[in-house]
Structure 1
Amino acid sequence: MTPDQMRDASLFELFTLEAEAQTQVLSAGLLALERNPTQADHLEACMRAAHSLKGAARIVGVNAGVSVSHVMEDCLVSAQEGRLHLLPEHIDALLMGTDLLMRIATPGASVPQADVDGYVALMNNMVSDDPAMKAMLVPTALPSLEDILLANAQSLVTSLQSAQDSAAEELAASVVEPAPDPALKADGPGERRVAETGERVLRVTAERLNNLLDLSSKSLVETQRLKPYLAAMQRVKRTQTGATRALDSLEALLAANTDPDAQKALDEARRLLGEAQHLLIQQTADLDEFGWQASQRAQLLYDTALACRMRPFADVLAGQARMVRDLGRSLGKQVRLEIDGEKTQVDRDVLEKLEAPLTHLLRNAVDHGIELPAQRIACGKPAEGLIQLKASHQAGLLVVELIDDGAGVDLERLRLSIIERKLSPAETAAQLSEEELLSFLFLPGFSMRDKVTEVSGRGVGLDAVQHMIRQLRGGVEMDQRAGQGSRFHLEVPLTLSVVRSLVVDVGGEAYAFPLAHIERMRDVRADEIVQLEGRQHFWHEERHVGLVAATQLLNRPASQHSEDVLKVVVIRERDAVYGVAVERFIGERTLVVLPLDPRLGKVQDISAGALLDDGSAVLIIDVEDMLRSVEKLLNTGRLERIDRRSRQADTRVRKRVLVVDDSLTVRELERKLLLSRGYEVAVAVDGMDGWNALRGEDFDLLITDIDMPRMDGIELVTLVRRDSRLQSLPVMVVSYKDREEDRRRGLDAGADYYLAKASFHDDALLDAVVELIGDAQG
């Protein structure tokens, strides 16, 4: 590339950056002018933006940009001078001009000259007062304004809808936050820019930003490791002070009959101790000062790195107000979007993932919620519909509310649709409450529209919203008032990089429960635990809440201490509520999330890791996964009792056997035989399923087949013998094969007993089990 070509490329890049900033000013100003066409400050801002773009395009040599921005400027100047009253049709045309300018300013994009000429003719036609001139200026092939508007609305919808799927791997992360109306100027070629404040704005990749946050968090943790050294030095100081007093006492005792040599040695010891004390005091003070300075700088580094990940909520709203307005116009509706909380700070990863669900909800509000102007007026409402989008921080969460003043949901029509789709019998549907009816709207494939349109009717909407919000570890709720509108309430974490958590002790190890999923922490006395339908409960907020032991869920050893009061974390995920008993509450911490090694796969009940202030590791609980584990334990009847007094009274525990076999017949036969003898039995369908069960629960014996899909019995036995926790577990191999080489393979892998199914009978299996582990309650 020649120097002239490099200069031209750099200039065009700067033109692109300016077009991005100025078209944002134009879009925001034009939407405001649609509500108040004579507002002087918005007219002035829009005119100046168009004028700046015209000058920039002329300098760069982009003639198409000069032509488009020139006719837009003429239109705005006419409005300023009172020669033209801006109507919605003018706003439509000016907004199309902003889109056309962005196409022109996009590197690599090709804009046909016919599009530019057609737009210039359209604008001249709209501004001209001469009817004859209007007729001359409008080309016969130029599409109507309504056609262009509809196509533009659909283009906006499509681009916003696909924003989530087509998000770039490299995020543009501003190290210095630009002004709300950033007029960026060149600071040289490449990626460097300068804001109006004079601060440079740089672009860094998301990966580098994540690495910076990770290093800063580790730096913060490392500074905390100085505290124990300081404490130890303080103890040494106290010890030396005691040694000085001991010397003083010794000198007093020997004062009467001390010979000169002994006195000299005593003085020398006192001198050396004094020097050591002086040096220690000086070094302790220096280390204390260094530790304080290091912790302050590390905290500042961490806070700054974290702030770089945070962006204002307004960043997710780029184009949303325009999309709502244009989509409404294409449907013959008047709709306005009001936004509250634009400056609410949120993690950029959360913002990126919020764009698609918010677009779904806004489209849903415009298409399904807001009525046509005539219908609204007949109901005593203003012709223009209002959609409110509110964002705020609440208890460490980002809370987003989307409210429209439309017609709400026709519950009877919804009830009929449920019956027609055979989702519920008519008798049951007739008794469904409003909340239960609205929950059907979140089912996959459910739609209230009978016909498919360009906007909706495909059954893809609220279920996708719910799925995407759950991926963010958040939740969405809906309520409505017939004839008055609907409200969607979204709660998601403020950041995916940092999580506020309650750190607890479970079996001698630290675990963290995200505060967003904790309903309450409380003490539960032993006499508060009741048995209902074979399960343990306690009374909490006027309802019985199931009680489970964290040691069983996380496969940790149970506490040996008998206490009358249990420490319980009450967790909630939508309608599921349980109390999880832990050893003790360590305290609330803000943890930097460290993803687990992907080679581990999905670790049951665990979402990520983190480091505590002292550098020790803590695992962060996946509450949704843990609740599924609780349900699984309840369904299989394996939930352990945690009433310690009852456990101590009954020390006879049934021994547990795991049967692994891909044959349903064999599994059931072996299970029933073992159950009849009093053993507790669990089953697995293949080696992989068996290995997962062994890692998650405790067993006294493993009985496995050899030939199985995914993982055969030999591989399973080999893994068991390599695991330090399981290597002493008795293993019996039961196989169809009765050849010596197969028997040898099983025993060589580490099996304790080999039984051929060809000679299989009831007593042979049971006798072998008793031989290996004894009776069921021995």
Structure 2
Amino acid sequence: MSDDELSRRSLLDLFREEAQTQTRTLAAGLLALEATPADATTLEACMRATHSLKGAARIVGLPEAVDVASAMEDCFVDAQHGVLTIDAGRIDALLVGIDLLMAAGDASAPPLAREVVDGFVARLANGGLAASAEAVGQPSPLDPEALLAASLASVPMPKDEPVAAEVVSDYAEPIAASAAAQPINPSTTARSARDSDRMLRVRAGTLDRLLGLAGESLVESRRMRPFANGLLRVRRAQGDVLAALGQFSEHHGDALGHEARAALAAIREQLSTLGGQLAERFDDLDRIDRRGTQLAQRLYDSALECRMRPFSDTAHAYPRIVRDLARSLGKRVRFVIDGENTQVDRDILDMLDAPLGHLLRNALDHGIEDPGTRRLLGKPEEATLTLEARHSAGKLLIAVADDGAGVDMPALRRAIVARGLAPADAVETMSEPELLEFLLLPGFSMRERVTDVSGRGVGLDAVQNFAKAVRGTVRIESAAGRGTRFVLQLPLTLSVLRSLIVDVAGEAYAFALAHVRRALRVPREAIDMLEGQQHIVHEGRPIGLVTARQLLGASDATAPANASGDVSVLLIGDGTGHDAALYGIAVDGFAGERTLAVQPLDARLGKVRNVAAAALLEDGTVTLIVDVEDIIASVARLVREGQLAGVTRGANTTARERKRILVVEDSLTVRELERKLLEKRGYAVTVAVDGMDGWNTLRNGQFDLVITDVDMPRMDGIELVTMIRNDPHQRNVPVMIVSYKDREDDRRRGLDAGADYYLTKGSFHDEALLDAVNDLIGEAT
């Protein structure tokens, strides 16, 4: 690609960014003009936005975009002078102009066709009559599905795309009457650039790494406290020694000579001086510890805030969607967004678009009546549709509510029976909340006829799937004749997880509290056998019991008894309601609840069975976050194959000599994952953080196998393998390389250095590693 082509692509990227912010202002302004067509402030802001786009398109060299923006600017100028009125028809046409301007800035799309631009200009000059829509290639107002698709495509959604950090224009915010009308000048721009509240666009991966480093900094800062406590014990011991010398001098001083007494006095004085110095240093260390911990906590909290974005980043697209679809359905709707400044996790926000689109479409098509029907019912012809976002009780609540007809409960009962989902007599006894749950089932619809907007039964099912994916719930509320309300209850962030920490074979594992129904202590005599499987009884129902050791691959699949002889059991479920399936997971013990900063496993490791992610505990210990859905699938597989291990009545205390493995890896996540996998299989594992640390550890111990990475600081894996093979005491120790380098040249380089096995992390999974270890040194004992 030539320098000119690169320069033009860069200019197009800049135009696209400006078009995103300016067309957002235009979209908000046009929807405001639909209610107040002559509002001078809004007209001024829209005119200036199109004027800016016209100038930008001219600089970039997009003549078609220049013509589109110029025609839109002329329309706003004429409206300012009272020559014309921005009515619904012209708003339809101007919204099409927004689509064309966004398409012009898309470098991957073909350039705007001249006939499309001419058709748009003619349509706008003709008052935006729908007859011109075909000439422009735009959807007819009578095609609601196409209108909805066009609306979704035309309003740019903020994405965490990999772009360099840059200041987002003030026009990125929804239009504000007085501020948006002010002319842009260099001094205003300079002041805005200095504004501490300005928005920056940063790579998503950078934020994730920042959050991970902040979490590690917080953990490292807490390591100082045990060190300070150790120093305090030394200080106390020094005080005890000084007191003992004083007692010795008091009881035996007369028996000592003059020189001995003088020497003893000097020693006591020196110890006293050292004690004072030690006290001062301890006070300094205590201040450093408290200050460092506070700063690390603030750093972590600030890094976590970087993942949060205002709800308005997604909500700004919905007014146009609602407006277009309502017009296509012949309905009048006032759309209200409440809580635009509510902070939402970036990952949740990016996933909200589809479920909220389904809920809004459902409300417009199913819930809200047409103006004639509303008039007969004594309601205002203009319906109200509300989208609300707020924080409540540590959760994010997002609600979509309408003042329409509500759910027709008799019709819902008939639909449930007609589709064979429940017998008629059972349906008649169900409560209203139980009946409303059927609306969330896949393929369920109360429409007898499929339309462009609804009837396929996929919308609410998608909402339910989204809620499950983010560990949330969906609640439906309905009142006949007064409307329907859908409430999404979601976690505040996917970066932080409230979890129950459990002990399994000496390792810490985390279960998300959203999946934990109860944590119980069950007497061993209360465990019964039912159809060949162990069960416990909870609230009158039998619940199958399986050991976490077996599910998580510990070397001993049976759970030992604690001091009281009881078994610690987690009840986990895969659904909601009283009839949801429950499973009992026997663990070795409970370690309390923690709020964990979730750290995803490296994607190149692939899917690790029964594990979803990792996190660091306060003491620096790595804990694996259990994938509950995987666990439930594993239970079903073990039941199907008849391989469930039961809970024994005593602990296995037989001590066996285990083979020792040294893991040398600079990545904390990979190092801990390998350690846990190997220890579960029964191997004794020692870890080292780089090649030099690994070499020193190897020389000071006896190991049956060394597993090493290649790229490490101080000494890489190839150098480590070479030193092992050149050392007469270590040359016979088997060495396995586990590396991301998967080229044949890399593999050959490692094997030529003397490695016995080369495993790539790209194909790495638990069984591959364990099989390779077994090939080299056999079983753990």
TM-score (ref. length: structure 2)? 0.69
- Residue in 2 that maps onto 1:27: 27
Q: Is 1:621 aligned to 2:622, yes or no? A: no
What letter corresponds to residue 92 of structure 1 in structure 2? D
Report the Cα offset of residue 344 of structure 1: 2.0
- TM superposition shift of 1:321: 1.9
| 1:371 aligned counterpart, secondary structure | coil
Partner of 2:209: 211
Q: Residue in 1 aligned with 2:49? A: 49
Are 1:93 and 1:145, in contact at CA under 8 Å, matched by a contact in 2?
Answer: no
Return the alpha-carbon distance in structure 2 between the equivalents of residues 631 and 430 of structure 1.
33
Asked if 1:574 corresponds to 2:579, the answer is no
Aligned to 2:613: 608
What's the offset of the Cα at 1:177?
8.2
- In structure 2, the partner of 1:747 is none
**Contact 1:178 1:195 survives alignment (8 Å):** no
Normalised by the length of structure 1, the TM-score is: 0.70
* CA-CA distance at 1:237 after TM superposition: 0.8
SS state of the match for residue 466, structure 1?
helix
The question of whether the paired residues in 1 share the 8 Å contact of 2:214 and 2:303 is answered with yes
Distance 2:422 2:429 in 1: 11
Where does the alignment leave 5 or more consecutive residues of structure 2 unmatched?
174-179, 653-676, 682-767
CA contact (8 A) 1:14 1:186 kept: no
Q: Secondary structure at the match of 1:399?
A: strand
**Per-residue CA distance 1:139-162 (angstroms, 9 max, x = gap):** 989659995445696154267499
1:391 is the counterpart of 2:389: yes
Deviation at 1:444, TM superposition (A): 3.0
Amino acid at match of 2:361: R
- 2:498 aligned counterpart, secondary structure: strand
AA aligned opposite 1:384: E
| Whole-angstrom CA distance in 1 between matches of 2:558 and 2:632 | 20
What's the offset of the Cα at 1:328? 1.6
The 3-state SS of whatever aligns with 2:474 is strand
- Aligned residue runs from structure 1 range 108-187, under 5 A: 108-109=108-109, 110-126=111-127, 143=135, 148-150=140-142, 154=146, 156-157=148-149, 160=152, 170=161, 181=172
Structure 1 residue 238, shift from structure 2 partner: 0.8
Distance change >3 Å, CA 265–CA 547, structure 1 → 2? farther
Contact kept in structure 2, 1:160 and 1:356, CA below 8 Å: no
Q: What amino acid does structure 1 have at the position aligned with 2:146?
A: Q
Q: C-alpha distance in 1, partners of 2:637/2:359? A: 34
Matched with 1:755 is none
Q: Distance in 2 between matches of 1:551 and 1:230?
A: 37
Residues 507, 557 of structure 1: 8 Å contact kept: no
Structure 1 runs not aligned, ≥5 long: 128-133, 652-691, 697-714, 729-778
Change over 3 Å in CA distance of 1:163–1:437 after alignment to 2: farther
The aligned residue for residue 64 of structure 1 is 64
> Helix, strand or coil: the match of 2:254?
coil
Distance, in Å, in 2 between the alignment partners of 1:85 and 1:250 is 104
Q: Is the 8 A contact 1:529 1:538 kept in 2?
A: no
Kindly provide the CA deviation profile for residues 66-88 of structure 1, in whole angstroms up to 9, marking residues without a partner as x.
43333333433444455544432
Q: 1:550 to 1:159 in 2, by over 3 A?
A: farther
Secondary structure, in 3 states, of the residue corresponding to 1:126? coil
2:113 maps to amino acid: P
Residue pairs, 1:155-304, within 5 angstroms: 156-157=148-149, 160=152, 170=161, 181=172, 195=193, 197=195, 203-304=201-302
Equivalent residue, structure 2, for 1:763: none
Alignment of 1:641-656 (within 5 A): none
TM-aligned CA distance change 1:39 to 1:361, over 3 Å: same
The reply on whether 1:16 has 2:8 as its aligned counterpart is: no
Which of 469, 472, 488 aligns to 1:471? It is 469
1:196–1:362 distance in 2 versus 1, CA, 3 Å: farther
Identity %: 45
Deviations 1:624-678 (A, max 9, x none): 4556667788999999999x9xx69xx9xxxxxxxxxxxxxxxxxxxxxxxxxxx
| Larger mean Cα displacement after TM superposition, 312-321 or 429-438 | 429-438
1:414 to 1:254, Cα distance in 2 relative to 1, 3 A: closer
Give, in angstroms, the shift of residue 405 of structure 1: 2.3
For 1:244 and 1:635, locate their aligned partners in 2 and report how far apart those are by CA, in whole Å. 70
In the TM superposition, residue 249 of structure 1 has moved relative to its aligned partner by 1.8
CA contact (8 A) 2:159 2:350 kept: no
Question: Could you tell me whether the CA contact under 8 Å between 1:163 and 1:356 is conserved in 2?
Answer: no
What does 1:693-732 align with in structure 2 at a 5 Å threshold?
none
1:744-759 maps to which residues of 2 (within 5 A)?
Answer: none
Question: C-alpha displacement at 1:374, in angstroms?
Answer: 1.6
Per the TM alignment, residue 419 of structure 1 is displaced from its structure 2 partner at its CA by 4.5
Aligned to 2:498: 500
**Match of 2:126, SS?**
helix
Amino acid at match of 2:91: I
Contact 1:607/1:622 (8 A) holds in 2: yes
Q: Which residue of the partner structure matches residue 594 of structure 2?
A: 589
Question: Could you tell me how far 1:105 is from its partner in structure 2?
Answer: 3.1
Contact 2:598–2:613 (CA under 8 A) maintained in structure 1: yes
Amino acid at match of 1:25: T
What is the CA–CA distance in structure 2 between the aligned matches of 1:153 and 1:295, rounded to whole Å? Answer: 55
Cα 1:193–1:149 change in 2 (3 A) is farther
Q: Counterpart of 1:447 in structure 2: which amino acid? A: S
Number of the residue aligned with 1:99: 99
For residues 11 and 176 of structure 1, do their structure 2 counterparts lie closer, same or farther at Cα, with a shift above 3 Å needed?
closer
CA offset digits 1:569-617 (Å, max 9, x no partner):
6656412367767666534322122334668765565432211010112
Shift of 1:231: 0.8
Distance 1:247 1:496, change over 3 A: same
CA spacing shift, 1:147–1:613, aligned 2, 3 Å: closer
Q: Quick one: distance in 1 between partners of 2:2 and 2:249?
A: 91
Deviations along 1:202-246, one digit per CA (max 9) or x if unpaired, are: 544323332222222122212221211111111111111111112
CA distance in 2, matches of 1:148, 1:244: 94
Change (3 A) 1:114 1:516: same
Shift in CA distance, 727/532, structure 1 to aligned 2, threshold 3 Å: closer
Q: CA RMSD, aligned part only?
A: 4.8
- Provide the rounded CA distance (Å) in 1 between the counterparts of 2:225 and 2:335: 53
- Which amino acid in 1 is paired with 2:67? S
Aligned to 2:752: none
Partner of 2:561: 560
1:354 aligned partner, one-letter code: L
Opposite residue 622 of structure 1, the aligned amino acid is D
Structure with greater Cα Rg: 1
Cα distance in 2, alignment partners of residues 6 and 289 from structure 1: 54
Structure 1 residue identity aligned to 2:112: V
Structure-2 change in CA distance of 1:589 and 1:331 (3 Å): same
Q: 2:324, 2:131 → 1: CA distance?
A: 24
Larger displacement relative to structure 2 (93-102 or 503-512):
503-512
CA offsets 1:158-199 (integer angstroms, 9 cap, x no match): 6749999x9988456969887574599999xxxx99857377
Mapped to 1, the partners of 2:155 and 2:503 lie a distance apart of 42
Which deviates further from its counterpart, 54-63 or 98-107? 54-63
Q: Secondary structure at the match of 1:256?
A: helix
Per-residue deviation, residues 495-545 of structure 1 (Å, max 9, x unmatched): 222212233445644332323345666x76969979999953455xxx879
